[in-house]
Amino acid sequence: MTGGKRDLVHVHITDDLPIRAQALPYADRVEIRLGNAFPVALIIDYAALGVLERAIQQGWSELDAAGRSKGGGNAGSR
């Protein structure tokens, strides 16, 4: 880190943030777009989709184990 800046981008995803997924078969990837006004796009290789899914499931399980609320949007639908 230089100048006190972190080498990390934070994107806060809420239940009302537009999220759109699109397969990019020609590139063997999936694009996930977050937001409208200042969108962020995640480009995920096919081989990494399972890794991302497991990371999300692990975080979700840890929140559940900590007794966190499942309120809001589609939080309860896995």
Half-sphere exposure of 43 (CA within 13 A, CB side): 6
Q: What is the pTM of this model?
A: 0.72
pLDDT, residue 58, reads: 97
Q: Which of 10, 11, 17 is nearest to 72 (CA)?
A: 17
Q: What is the pLDDT of residues 14-71, one digit of tens each?
A: 999 999 999 999 999 999 999 998 899 999 999 999 999 999 999 999 999 999 766 5
pLDDT, residue 45, reads: 98
19-24 sheet: strands from edge to edge: 19-24, 29-34, 40-45
Q: What is the pLDDT of residues 33-47, one digit of tens each?
A: 999 988 999 999 999
